[in-house]
Structure 1
Amino acid sequence: MELINKQYIVDENNRKVAVQIPIDVFEKMELLLEDHALFHLMKENTDSDLLELTDAQAYYRQLVKEA
């Protein structure tokens, strides 16, 4: 597992209130969360909602554009 280089932002009482991480790490985390959520959505999907691969890819690309 990769260690995350992070910097904490603290308030006047020295309590941690936020964290800064490199943008590339944040983008990797975002992709992992998207993939995880997509996996669980696909797992819950019923057979009647199945799409062919090319249709599914087109649908997913459309979702990404709308986000």
Structure 2
Amino acid sequence: MKKINHWINGKNVAGREYFHTTNPASGEVLAEVASGGEAELHQAVAAAKEAFPKWANQPMKERARLMRRLG
């Protein structure tokens, strides 16, 4: 089964707890997804605050290109 962790500050961060995500039509479990807690929230917010100035100064075309790569 696929296990999905957090992606914080360019790093794969495991969660303390996980929940199952399911296909609503079949009930099949698709993946285990990390459930973030207070510690992960603070890590993510700190990383976002640090990254924002560089991101904000990127030209719009470059930001769009990077977002399209995410899918």
Same fold (TM over 0.5): no
Which structure has more RCO (C-alpha within 8 Å, separation ≥ 6)? 2
TM-score, reference length from structure 2: 0.39
Higher helix share: 1
Instruction: Point out the structure with max Rg over C-alpha.
Output: 1
